[in-house]
Chains A and B, each alone.
Chain A
Amino acid sequence: MRPLSYARADDASAAIALVAAHPEGAFLAGGTTEIDLTRQDVLRPELLVDINHLPLDGVEDLPDGGLRIGALARMSDVARAPAVTERFPMISQALVLGASAQLRNMASMGGNLCQRVRCGYFRDVTSPCNKRDPGSGCGALDGFHRGHAILGVSDQCIATHPSDVAVALVALDAVVHIRGPGGQRAIGIDDFFLLPGDTPDREHPLDHGELITAIEVPALPTARRSVYLKFRDRQSYEFALASVAAAIRVEDGTVTGARLALGGVGTKPWRARRAEAALFGQPASEDSFAEAAREELTQATPRQQNAFKVELARRVIVRALNTLMDGEAR
């Protein structure tokens, strides 16, 4: 690891000022991404500003039934918060299906949104990677890309976004609250994640020194019966090959509302709007679910090693919706 400096902030203003003043300054929360990638020399901060003592770790109820999750709330604490498990089970399920118990105790919610891709070429500084080193090429395109994305890809980058809880938050239209040198703002979570396009090095519309302070989840009664399913090579402690966050509202056997988002298959957490639109007004049957899934995946652009994800993602959508209809997860 390169030599670096350290400062501990007790309030957001100080943290922001410190990072903003230093071009190679960075925030340090749980460190599960930051320390890992700094040790690999992928990230090269010269100053780490410890924000773990900022009073931003609460999980609060909003008057309308929504939630406000502090950016420094740990994954494990959010997962077991009663408000989350009761009103937004897809969030708690997504959280406990991610990482390991130890990592969930360390990792912050804000850091989770900002985690970096698992692509082996990104993580290896001797390999070509347009995300890490713009213009150097993409090793995955003709190399190892079995775990890479089939949605939202470009010819510059096909790396999958690895977060689980971000998928649930995208399904729920969460809002990301940010504070920076220029003040405060809020971004809809779908806009918080950028497609790689020609600038895969730019993953979030965050300026240097801007800090996530909270994630707000709007009220959604339908989300009380929601689910997050994750499919992967190993039973546990492994990233998704394909995953889905799902909630559905059915009245008189007809779908009157659906929230669907996919993980493990997109360069960003993938809101499945086509599937949602295809479901609306349809009978809540497996045929409708399969048709909606098929509709969503028509836009997939698979490569040789990850082509299996197209069918897998379709089935994952159907499985999730069946699970909700059955009333029990399998």
Chain B
Amino acid sequence: MSGYIGQDVPRIEGPEKVTGSARYSGEIALPNLTYAEIVGAVIASGRITSIDTTAAERAGGVLAVLTRHDMPAVNHVPLVPSLLGGPAPGETFFPMQDDAIHYAGQPVAIVVADSLEQAQRAATLVAVNYAETPSVTTITQGRDHAYEPERIFGGLMPARTARGDAAAGLATADAHVDAEFRFAANHHNALEPLTTTAVWDSDELTLYDSCQGIKAVQLTVAALLGMSPSKVRVLTSFVGGAFGSKAMVWPHVTLTAIAARHVRRPVRFTAPRGQMFTSCGHREEQELRIELGARRDGKLTAIRHRKISVTSPFDDWAEPAFGVASQLYASPAYEGILHLVRGNTMTPTFTRGPGEAVGVFTLECAMDELAGELGIDPVELRLRNLAETEPGTGNPWSSYGMRECLRRGAELIGWAGRNPRPRSERDGNWLIGAGMAAAAYPVAFFMTTQRAPPRSSAPACPPR
């Protein structure tokens, strides 16, 4: 076994991927397959006043056009992050249960047809009329009605983080930094679009779904449809990227299952690229403000962090920006307060380094400015503020690589020889320079069980 660690080992699925023989979820050959297209709302807020499906139903190859009138009542399942191992709908709202529109792109109809082209064409023929009401989709529009929630991230974490007296720490500081950052919403846009194929055999459902966890899909669909999980089988061999967008289970999965039950044939849904922006959550639009207080020698006296972001009408979701920021340095005081704006968007979701990517970014930018203000080398400033124990609890770290990272990183890029003045070096039409920033991401521990049958022979893939 130790012969494998540290070895360069090619991915065992490499040959399948480079020859195109790897079958992704939307590529499984099935007899009698039909294709679904989802029609999304074109307004962000209001209600449907009428849907005329006549032209769509008459279009060639169409088997069914489902609206809310054809839908079963779907159970309300709470939003709990998928990593906890239970049902995990991405938002507590399930579409096509009434005539209310909560966000642009919200599914309002499903077309099922014999061919992809027929389904795509028929979807454009579904005539939906709306009564539109004013919507809030940006921080600017909703800022005046922002509120402070109790918990965020699917209830997993408290919204507020605090230790010490940040106000006093800032008041008594020799140097201050006060910086604001605005972040546009980010969309994962994995290269493989969302895709679900649903096949019923009597009361048993098989789903081929591009997802980050088959258990979450199984449990979520079963819970929404009021089925026993033992009747739901999920098969996923290859996933074409996700980046957080396929961890929670989004409405299209269950909608596809419902459509397949309705037409009594296998149904494949693959989201068009344009729908990917309104189908699987996103990283929320957010503004962060960070204030640092420090003594003349660079030692932090306080960090105050503020965040405001947009969430859906149904869930208090925000990615947690304050975790690493409150722990990375030995500041005696830290205060992180978060506000939410109820907006006409989907519930945001896990996105690449959820929360910490943004939180640490703002912290490190502020530290860089602080270094400039105090005339202290940025690497030295970090070294002076390293947390020898966890600043909130005083617990020892199991390991703490910051010092080594800083020293070794500086050495590797010749940090000592750099010109510290910004905008001081040119290369033709380019301004060039060197900078640094620290980063960390929390590690979470969960209990898990594994079962492996004993092998009767050696593994099939030797190291190279």
* Chain A residues in the interface with B (C-beta under 8 A): 1-3, 41, 126, 319, 330
Q: Residue B117 contacts which of A1, A319, A330 (CB distance < 8 angstroms)?
A: A1
* B59, closest chain A residue (CB): A3
Q: Residue A41 contacts which of B42, B117, B124 (CB distance < 8 angstroms)?
A: B124
Is the pair A330, B121 in contact by a Cβ cutoff of 8 Å? no
Q: Residue B428 contacts which of A2, A41, A126, A330 (CB distance < 8 angstroms)?
A: A330
Rounded to whole angstroms, the CA-CA distance of A3 and B115 in the bound complex is: 12
Is the pair A2, B121 in contact by a Cβ cutoff of 8 Å? yes
Q: Which residues does chain B contribute within 8 Å of A2, judged by CB atoms? A: 121
B429 within 8 A of A: yes
Is the pair B42, A126 in contact by a Cβ cutoff of 8 Å? yes
B206 within 8 A of A: no
Is the pair A3, B429 in contact by a Cβ cutoff of 8 Å? no
Rounded to whole angstroms, the CA-CA distance of A274 and B428 in the bound complex is: 30
Rounded to whole angstroms, the CA-CA distance of A126 and B124 in the bound complex is: 10
Q: Residue A3 contacts which of B42, B121, B428 (CB distance < 8 angstroms)?
A: B121
What is the interface size of chain B, counting residues whose CB is below 8 A from a CB of the partner? 8
Q: List 11 A-B contacts (CB under 8 A).
A: A1-B117, A1-B120, A1-B121, A2-B121, A3-B60, A3-B121, A41-B124, A126-B42, A319-B429, A330-B428, A330-B429
Nearest CB of B to A296, in Å: 22
Rounded to whole angstroms, the CA-CA distance of A41 and B122 in the bound complex is: 12
Q: Which residues does chain B contribute within 8 Å of A330, judged by CB atoms? A: 428-429
Nearest CB of B to A247, in Å: 21
- Give chain B's interface secondary structure class: loop
Rounded to whole angstroms, the CA-CA distance of A3 and B59 in the bound complex is: 10
- Give chain A's interface secondary structure class: loop
Q: Which residues does chain B contribute within 8 Å of A1, judged by CB atoms? A: 117, 120-121
Rounded to whole angstroms, the CA-CA distance of A144 and B117 in the bound complex is: 31
Contact with A along B425-454 (1 / 0, CB 8 A): 000110000000000000000000000000
Rounded to whole angstroms, the CA-CA distance of A319 and B429 in the bound complex is: 10
* B428, closest chain A residue (CB): A330
Nearest CB of B to A255, in Å: 23
Q: Which residues does chain B contribute within 8 Å of A126, judged by CB atoms? A: 42
Rounded to whole angstroms, the CA-CA distance of A41 and B123 in the bound complex is: 12
> Which residues of chain B (30-60) have a CB below 8 Å from chain A?
42, 60
Known: A2-B121, A330-B428, A330-B429. 8 other contacts (CB 8 A): A1-B117, A1-B120, A1-B121, A3-B60, A3-B121, A41-B124, A126-B42, A319-B429
* A2, closest chain B residue (CB): B121
Q: Which residues does chain A contribute within 8 Å of B124, judged by CB atoms? A: 41
Q: Which residues does chain A contribute within 8 Å of B429, judged by CB atoms? A: 319, 330
Nearest CB of A to B140, in Å: 14
Rounded to whole angstroms, the CA-CA distance of A41 and B428 in the bound complex is: 46
* B120, closest chain A residue (CB): A1
> Which residues of chain B (114-138) have a CB below 8 Å from chain A?
117, 120-121, 124
Q: Which residues does chain B contribute within 8 Å of A41, judged by CB atoms? A: 124
Rounded to whole angstroms, the CA-CA distance of A126 and B428 in the bound complex is: 46
Q: Which residues does chain A contribute within 8 Å of B120, judged by CB atoms? A: 1
Q: Which residues does chain A contribute within 8 Å of B60, judged by CB atoms? A: 3
Rounded to whole angstroms, the CA-CA distance of A41 and B272 in the bound complex is: 14
Q: Which residues does chain B contribute within 8 Å of A319, judged by CB atoms? A: 429
Q: Which residues does chain A contribute within 8 Å of B428, judged by CB atoms? A: 330
Rounded to whole angstroms, the CA-CA distance of A319 and B428 in the bound complex is: 12
* B116, closest chain A residue (CB): A1
* B117, closest chain A residue (CB): A1
Rounded to whole angstroms, the CA-CA distance of A220 and B347 in the bound complex is: 60
* A319, closest chain B residue (CB): B429
Nearest CB of A to B156, in Å: 35
Contact with A along B259-301 (1 / 0, CB 8 A): 0000000000000000000000000000000000000000000
Nearest CB of A to B380, in Å: 34
Rounded to whole angstroms, the CA-CA distance of A41 and B121 in the bound complex is: 9
Contact with A along B104-120 (1 / 0, CB 8 A): 00000000000001001
Closest 10 pairs (CB-CB, A-B): A126-B42, A330-B429, A330-B428, A41-B124, A2-B121, A1-B117, A1-B121, A1-B120, A3-B121, A3-B60
Rounded to whole angstroms, the CA-CA distance of A2 and B124 in the bound complex is: 9
Q: Which residues does chain A contribute within 8 Å of B121, judged by CB atoms? A: 1-3
Rounded to whole angstroms, the CA-CA distance of A1 and B121 in the bound complex is: 5
Q: Which residues does chain B contribute within 8 Å of A3, judged by CB atoms? A: 60, 121
Q: Which residues does chain A contribute within 8 Å of B42, judged by CB atoms? A: 126
Nearest CB of B to A250, in Å: 22
> Which residues of chain B (401-429) have a CB below 8 Å from chain A?
428-429
Rounded to whole angstroms, the CA-CA distance of A330 and B60 in the bound complex is: 56
Rounded to whole angstroms, the CA-CA distance of A41 and B42 in the bound complex is: 16
Rounded to whole angstroms, the CA-CA distance of A2 and B121 in the bound complex is: 6
* A123, closest chain B residue (CB): B274
Nearest CB of B to A193, in Å: 29
Contact with A along B189-209 (1 / 0, CB 8 A): 000000000000000000000
Nearest CB of B to A36, in Å: 12
* A40, closest chain B residue (CB): B274
Rounded to whole angstroms, the CA-CA distance of A1 and B125 in the bound complex is: 11
Rounded to whole angstroms, the CA-CA distance of A2 and B123 in the bound complex is: 11
Rounded to whole angstroms, the CA-CA distance of A3 and B120 in the bound complex is: 11
Nearest CB of B to A150, in Å: 23
Rounded to whole angstroms, the CA-CA distance of A126 and B429 in the bound complex is: 43
Nearest CB of A to B223, in Å: 34
Nearest CB of A to B272, in Å: 9
Nearest CB of B to A315, in Å: 11
Nearest CB of A to B121, in Å: 6
Nearest CB of B to A81, in Å: 30
* A125, closest chain B residue (CB): B124
